[in-house]
Amino acid sequence: MAPDVIAVKDVGKEYQTPRGSVLALDAIDLTVAEGEFVAIVGPSGCGKSTLLKILAGLLATTRGEVRLRGVPVVGPRRDIGVVFQSPVLFPWRTVLDNVLLPVDVQHLGRAENVSRALGLLALVGLAGFERHYPWELSGGMQQRVAITRALIHNPAMLLMDEPFGALDALTRESMNLELQRIWLKRRETVLFITHSISEAVFLADRVLVMTARPGRILEEVPVKIARPRSLDVMVAAEFGSIVKRIRAHFTARMGS
């Protein structure tokens, strides 16, 4: 069995507000193994993004512990890649320069990483766009640049927070296929947050279902559908059964 890259033990997060304390996360336990693709779904406000920021070292826990390859995460880590819903590209930097931003910030040696950046851009279908600027690209292409930037420093873990949430439905489907292709090529360890149950089931090895605030892990749902997965799999009985199992948690809550 592959070793755990991320191990989360009894993590809780509480915020202090003028109206009192708010418990955002409570008793979160989860692991992600080397090369595994895990998705998290849950209702709005359940703490999914808070959890991702804790894993990235951008937020401290109120209690509990997060370990990355056995080392406690107590602040931002250079060996974690993060992709947010917005690509957050610098408009004055070319595609290549945006991808190389972590290399420049971490002083990793620009010259020796240019060829790696060009290879990654080719992998995501952006060969020939290295000298373009963000405003010359579509939304889907910009998000491919953001994914490439997150991979350039060979992170131990790739955290993705609703990366395709702002895209139209057709582009989103295309990006799901693209992300699957990249993952199959590189086998990165991925934790993927989404509001879309079908997207989670399409991409993941396991789907973690979170409760409403305070966020807890309600169920872990394995996805044993063979890869590569085409979009046609979404109409298969097995796929529909998994989606129905996950959706039942939220429809039951709305009906209660």
- pLDDT attached to residue 85: 87
pLDDT per position as a tens digit, 12-48: 999 988 888 899 999 999 999 999 999 999 998 899 9
Contact (CB, 8 A) for 54 and 66: yes
Strand 20-33 versus strand 4-17 pairing type: antiparallel
pTM for this prediction:
0.91
pLDDT per position as a tens digit, 140-183: 999 999 999 999 988 899 999 999 988 889 989 999 999 999 99
Structural domain boundaries in the chain: 1-79+159-168+176-256, 88-154
- For 2: left if phi > 0, alpha if psi spans -120 to 50, otherwise beta; the answer is beta
157-161 sheet: strands from edge to edge: 80-83, 157-161, 190-193, 37-41, 206-210, 217-222
Q: How far is CA 146 from the centre of its chain?
A: 12
pLDDT per position as a tens digit, 186-237: 899 999 999 999 999 999 999 999 999 999 999 999 999 999 999 999 999 9
Contact (CB, 8 A) for 8 and 29: yes
For the chain, the 3-state helix, strand and coil shares in percent, each to the nearest 5, are: 40, 25, 35
Superfamily of domain covering 1-79+159-168+176-256: P-loop containing nucleotide triphosphate hydrolases (3.40.50.300)
